Structure 1
């Protein structure tokens, strides 16, 4: 692969993040510059870039740079770069927690994935450089990925614009060889980026902050909910349905969980009040309150009853609530019902949405990844502020 083609790949990495929000040159074209931290999970359409910029290739001198990334998210787009208005392109993302580079040059597709898992919530330094026919990604000073491409059909790129985009793509997702979920609940911060000082442009009025300290979990800011497709968990094959929630329930406020039957009747709600330190559970006409300080709540829906178990550092308890439905009626309805985490189904009242952090959510013993649900984008799927 010729140097001009490799320059495209390395440059896509290097002009990543001029971080701090500066003065805008228009309502929809604010500029972002400096070395501050940028949150990639900003609310927008799923594949739409958070920021973008176009740079004349003749102005680019350095083809080596580095930046830092922090996330608990195993999957998402970090940045994109292209020439020829998208005919040649480069994408860096995470999939299963490890870096994934995808390259398209003159119709030739290359993808390479590997290296250490980066979704541990720690800051990692990524450096990309062009060495001959290869693009090399180093992670924390050690070799991460090497991608090489050489063909007599590849055209040299020596003029025109290099388009860059952060947190999204400027091509269709179907163009990629390896598919992934786009939204990245993560942050990047500045490092060494070529010799350029051209700012990013964004049409976002206000950039969301990156919190200084985070922990693993799903953060609900009180402005939306996530609807879970229960068919993913194959509950129709089971004799019971088990839902487990972890977190500090004394610090939550609003609806944690709600289930609505096909007839739009609320069957189950779980609501927290951090002022009274009380959890209120409503189920098929029954209502109960939990005031103990616990960190884990397990709900097991059987053929004709709901079993509630909770435990923490100070207390454990088990309660059984009988359903008015007999035999297998409860599970049959549950399999066809809608389930929401972080709000009450059928209500748009902001006051009903959950404010707080759920450290872990499981259905039938499997972790629920909120990125795979129909969720409000204000919800951070993989991290909570400390």
Structure 2
């Protein structure tokens, strides 16, 4: 029946389209000769069934088309169908395999051609398939990863990390992810309280910092603050000492330098008050040589014996010292005019006869006095300001006969032999000034010519009674001060500079104790004039005071153990017990230095500069007479000081 209907339809179609469609006789014959299957007429009236058409019976390509009713699926199906028939169609036992094989051919999604990781589902199309991809995948088979990070960083605030089929946001170190895209700062100081150890933790945006005080640096291994040694960077112009958290610069005051206000550089020390350093070219300074040797040596020779005469003007504050010597050698006849206890004293030796005579008023008052010594017959007459104060009988002559000539040696400011050869021993060093001298009626003028060409032999025009420290050199004593429990130092001074060492006790290369002037306080770093009392390099007492005003000031210091008391012009300093400071052991052997310190380390004391100005020092009530020092610089004057100019 189906075949009859099909034929009728075909005839009608041919009649209706005869003008457009024609079939050749051969094609028609082939068509009419096709094998007719059972119930074929009825099957052709509806869409083909795959199992009925191609499994139960072997189908042709045309019959397969009837099943799919489109060319793409037919073209895809038929070659694979032939392969299934070849593999499973020859045996009844394999029929089930054939059914499975044939049924799977038209399903484009079996086996699944899509990437299983990136595919939601596979959709079968007519001879094709379509892979529906998950978000994050692309491509025909959903095999391509979509790089979400390539567009606007995936919306991530910090880092976008692409993964297969997806992505995720992450944060830089020090942040934590909030939601899917945002990053929030992590407060490490709160989350890990000991993250910095002993240092102070400061949270930063995305990080943290371990902070230390100035002068310290954080050590990540020790988790603590360690001191920075600034000295290795040559931060100071001269000497540098590293201290916990800081450093201190020192300048060599012995070279005339002081610390600059930047606390690193060195500057020249300047006088705050000028000194009246004018010299009298017609005067002779007697104390120029600390060794006590004479400053002038003369020899007189006469064919005819004459009497000895000497006349000169003398000014001194010094109570002791040699003025002049006249005579032969030590074992012959000679006289020495000395100052002793402020009065003139004549020591003489004529052969085996020795004598010491002293008389007259005090002449060490700083005023000019005319002194004369004259040999009158067998007597020596000494006059002060033309008044005779001594007349001494002698038995012999001062001149010595040598090869027909009468000779006499004369020395000024010292004797030509050791001072223990004197009849009565005195300190030969005399800080005095002489002018208008006449030796043996003034016949010799060589002294005057020498003095005029050598300022160091001349006296200051005006002087005051005090020891003078010129800003270079010091005096030192090697003896104890009598009290092993307490040290009392009294200083009277009129400084020309605000920087300098007044008094110091030195032991080997250390300065256990010192009193000094400074224009800044090394503890408070205050730039103002101070009097400092120090144990080593530690200031234990200080008074801010201006002493460079051309006036005389007093400084009193009392030390007992590790306690010190400082008083300046009656003003007490605030002092405290320094627990970390070693007590001053007054039983130890110290060298006492005045006006400066020796060549010890600059860090031994806060001040190393030499003092400039007038100064007298008493220790435990005893005046330290620099004429009695074991050593002093020749330019230090023991009893005379040039006046400080009050106008500057």
Task: Please confirm whether the aligned pair reaches a TM-score higher than 0.5, indicating the same fold.
Answer: yes
Which region of structure 1 is more displaced relative to structure 2, 245-254 or 346-355? 346-355
Q: Is structure 2 residue 359 aligned with structure 1 residue 114?
A: yes
Q: Is structure 2 residue 529 aligned with structure 1 residue 277?
A: yes
Question: What is the CA-CA distance between 1:105 and the residue it aligns to?
Answer: 1.5
- Structure 1 runs not aligned, ≥5 long: 1-33
Distance 1:346 1:195, change over 3 A: closer
- SS of 1:282's equivalent in the other structure is strand
Distance 2:299 2:345 in 1: 23
1:340-368 deviations in Å (ceiling 9; x for gaps): 1111243499972221111x311111211
Which region of structure 1 is more displaced relative to structure 2, 96-105 or 157-166? 157-166
Q: Is the 8 A contact 2:488 2:556 kept in 1?
A: yes
Give 1 or 2 for the bigger CA radius of gyration.
Answer: 2
The structure carrying a bigger helix percent of its residues is 2
Distance 2:471 2:350 in 1: 45
Q: Is structure 2 residue 311 aligned with structure 1 residue 66?
A: yes
Question: What is the CA-CA distance between 1:98 and the residue it aligns to?
Answer: 1.0
Q: Which residue of 1 aligns with 2:176?
A: none
1:23-74 deviations in Å (ceiling 9; x for gaps): xxxxxxxxxxx99110011136x23211111111236756444211001111
The count of corresponding residues between Structure 1 and Structure 2 is 340
Q: Is structure 2 residue 480 aligned with structure 1 residue 235?
A: no
1:170 to 416, 438, 448: 416
2:370 to 115, 122, 125: 125
Task: Kindly report the root-mean-square deviation, in angstroms, between the aligned alpha carbons of the 2 structures.
Answer: 3.2
Q: Which residue of 1 aligns with 2:472?
A: 223
Q: Which residue of 2 aligns with 1:320?
A: 575
TM-score scaled by length of structure 2: 0.48
Superposition map of 1:49-60 within 5 A: 49-58=294-303
Which region of structure 1 is more displaced relative to structure 2, 116-125 or 102-111? 102-111
Distance 1:341 1:55 in 2: 42
1:161-211 deviations in Å (ceiling 9; x for gaps): 211111111233232110011111110001444041352497996533211
- SS of 1:122's equivalent in the other structure is coil
- SS of 1:73's equivalent in the other structure is coil
Q: Is the 8 A contact 1:272 1:278 kept in 2?
A: yes
Superposition map of 1:37-186 within 5 A: 37-43=283-289, 46-58=291-303, 63-83=308-328, 87-150=332-395, 157=400, 159-186=405-432
Q: Which residue of 1 aligns with 2:638?
A: 381
Q: Is structure 2 residue 457 aligned with structure 1 residue 208?
A: yes
Q: Is structure 2 residue 558 aligned with structure 1 residue 300?
A: yes
Distance 2:429 2:478 in 1: 19
Q: Is the 8 A contact 1:68 1:126 kept in 2?
A: yes
Question: What is the CA-CA distance between 1:331 and the residue it aligns to?
Answer: 5.0
- SS of 1:117's equivalent in the other structure is coil
Distance 1:48 1:189, change over 3 A: same
The higher relative CO (CA closer than 8 Å, separation ≥ 6) is in: 1
Superposition map of 1:19-34 within 5 A: none
TM-score scaled by length of structure 1: 0.78
Q: Is structure 2 residue 613 aligned with structure 1 residue 356?
A: yes
- SS of 2:414's equivalent in the other structure is coil
Distance 1:161 1:64, change over 3 A: closer
Distance 1:135 1:48 in 2: 25
Distance 1:282 1:130, change over 3 A: same
Distance 1:155 1:284 in 2: 57
Q: Is the 8 A contact 2:533 2:566 kept in 1?
A: no
- SS of 2:381's equivalent in the other structure is strand
Q: Is structure 2 residue 625 aligned with structure 1 residue 369?
A: yes
Q: Is the 8 A contact 2:513 2:534 kept in 1?
A: yes
